[in-house]
Amino acid sequence: MLNKYSSILASLTILALSGCSDSDSRASASRGPDIGGTIAIESRTRIDLDTADDILAGTAVSEVVSLPDGAVAAGYLSSSGGSYSTGTADDFAYYRDEQDQYAASLSAGDSIVVQLFGAPDRFLPGISPPRLRVEVELSDGRTEQQTVNGFGSVILNAVASGADPEPHNITLYAESGAPFRYVIALVNDGNVSAANFRYSEPAFRPGEAVVVMEEPGAGRASPASVFASGVAARSLGKGVWHVRQPSASSGVTTAAAATSGAQATLDWIRDLRTRPGVRHAEPNYLYYAQQTPPPEAGEDLYTRQWNLPLIQLPLAWQLAPRMGEGVGVAVMDTGLFTATPGTAENWHSDLNANVRLVPGEFMDFVSGELDYDQNSDAGPDQNPADPGDGTPRSSNFHGTHVAGIIAATDNDDGIIGVAPSVDLYPIRVLGRNGEGSLADLLDAINWASGQPGIDVINLSLGGLGDSTELKKALDGARAEGKLVVAAAGNQGSGEPTYPAAYPNVVGVGAVDRSGRRASYSNTGVSVDAVAPGGDYSSAGGSDLIVSTWGLDDGGDFREAWAGLQGTSMAAPHVSALYALMKSGAEDAGREFGPEAFFTYLVDGQLTATPPNRSEYGYGLIDAVKAVSAAREGNVPGVILAAQPTVLQFTRALTQQTVKLVRYSEDGLPVTLTDDDVSATQSWVQAALTPGSGGDSLTVTADPSGLADGQTRRAEVQVVYDD
């Protein structure tokens, strides 16, 4: 293993010297200005001008609308006219509008994404779903077309065969079926994961609800009087109850599913809300582990942990030499690998020294059909072991992977975590298939909020249900001095994902090893910061986060290490960073808590400057910058850090400048010469920038001999004495 504590480890990783042309070089006058954005689906507020309202008014137009590069537009189409009832006093009239036409300049690799949206099925009984045909044509007659049936999506590739943009005509035909709205997006370089405009409705357990009772007192109804005979009710604490109907199914459904079971559950919950003594009732939403397994995931070691130098480790360990010692991190997930899952011991060797259990307390909160551990009775118990399921590529051991990113020990074997001396509290809330219920999650959060040893709660899980009670529980954890960190989700969508989107939660998106947003990572309000999450689609499949894992083939439990990608992998970097900051602040004689963390985050003191807020939040975490802020500049010795930590080169961009930032308590100098700067590959040249006084480096990359699609990587090292 490398020496991780040497004061000479100031490193700059150079990634993605690509044989492809610079993306900026694809712009031309023919493509128009570089603008885009979401245009609301309302009359006269978007690009499609022939709306239903205009048709009714007799002002509809039929023209080819030009779309700029990266545009997102919306429109309306229908193969027929008619009306339907919305269940209110007013009927909704819709009108025939069979065709829309657009024009855009596209290059090879660009895509056109069209998504359809319609009225609920109950409003249009007997009318078949729409059939849309999308046709793309070049002036020379080359065409591509696809058809989508129902309210789905269609993706078409640009017809152009070269890097230079060519004019494309795009025609949308409503061939049959119900009326619909649509969104059309132009996506550069095939990054279609960023063009998802559909709200994915949250999953919940049928026949179950989470109910909040009024405070007990004179004249207040008791739970026994509110819930009908035969209804099973479990207290989750603080007046919150998990309620099950006697005939509840063990299956899973979504609110969008047109099944009697789903509708019956929602009707039952509406009835519960009207009963005396009930303050609130909502579905028992399901949450899922937020990892995205790559096609292959295998063992790896510390030398493959590119995620550490990307966020300025191991440099930051010099600012927080206790490396999180005494700070408690609760990982609410699938539990933790152990060679003997029937016992709460024999944990993974990379984690064992840091595992903390609370004697006599439940730390496995999974209940009902989701629980399948080796205890005789399904339900909460004191053993947070991951029971496995014998499936080599399942969501099991997801919690072990998350825990390793945070807390893998420096034991000269395997990997090392971001905060390798923290107190690790494994809490099992996800069971079968990596799923967990809202009721169990609330139970766990309420318990952890009252534990003095826990300082931060990591939630590498998500669902899209905006739960009143979940928000209340998380606000309560914050009030008890706990920082809550959650994965932003892997749908490539800007739709809010919970719990990451709640104000008192740090939502974390993912970047790849070059610091770019991972193709799957969500955007928007769910993202407060980004951290390494990996992206298998880049860097030839090697861009994964390597961490602790487990194997359970044939019932034989063996520890392992594996590479995964996902915002589940990004979130624990932030949880561990908080532990480093807290221990570093305590070393400097300061108190540090969630309020200070959020203040520093918003002020830009924890992150690199982001390219944009939507995709990156306040930016990629910088551990040196963050721990220095937590210590208020009280830095032992001298730390020399590079900003940025990653450079990306292309044929058109072969030289860049890197700032060298000195962190020291007393302004101690660092004297550098060109002999102190070296590169690990001959195609990279690095030297002190003339006239900078040693405060910056100029790095030059030579792309000669690099074929299209190839990638080279190298590292620049600066050796110094403190």
Annotated catalytic residue: which of 168, 242, 348, 398?
398
Quickly tell me which residue has 């590119």 as its tokens.
306
Name the CATH superfamily, with its identifier, for domain 290-616. Peptidase S8/S53 domain (3.40.50.200)
Decide: 544 and 536 in contact? Cβ < 8 Å: yes
Give 102's strand partners: 65, 170
Annotated catalytic residue: which of 48, 100, 300, 333?
333
How do the domains of the chain map onto residue ranges?
10-20+638-718, 39-194, 203-286, 290-616
The reported pLDDT for the residue numbered 289 is 56
Decide: 385 and 369 in contact? Cβ < 8 Å: no
* pLDDT < 50 regions, the chain: 1-61, 190-195, 197-199, 218, 249-259, 292-300, 376, 393
Burial class, 699, CB count within 10 angstroms (exposed 0-12 / middle 13-18 / buried 19+): buried
CA dist., res. 404 & res. 458, Å (int): 13
The reported pLDDT for the residue numbered 287 is 62
Burial class, 631, CB count within 10 angstroms (exposed 0-12 / middle 13-18 / buried 19+): buried
702 is catalytic: no
The reported pLDDT for the residue numbered 395 is 55
The reported pLDDT for the residue numbered 144 is 87
Q: What's the 3-state SS for 275-305? A: CCCEEEEEEEEEEEECCECCCCCCCCCHHHC
398 is catalytic: yes
Give kind and range of the element (H or E) at residue 73.
strand 72-77
For 83, 237, 277, 330, the CA distances from 223, given in Å and listed in that order, are: 45, 13, 8, 31
CA dist., res. 378 & res. 388, Å (int): 15
CA 641 remoteness from chain centre = 27
CA dist., res. 195 & res. 519, Å (int): 10
Annotated catalytic residue: which of 18, 193, 547, 568?
568
568 is catalytic: yes
Decide: 425 and 228 in contact? Cβ < 8 Å: no
Q: Taking the CB of residue 39, how many other CB atoms lie within 10 A of it?
A: 16
CATH number of the domain at 39-194, please?
2.60.120.380
The token pair at 637 is 């010795």
**0.75 surpassed by pTM:** no
Per residue in 570-617, pLDDT tens?
999 999 999 999 999 999 999 999 999 999 999 999 999 998 999 999
Per residue in 278-307, pLDDT tens?
888 888 877 655 554 443 443 346 678 889
The reported pLDDT for the residue numbered 299 is 37
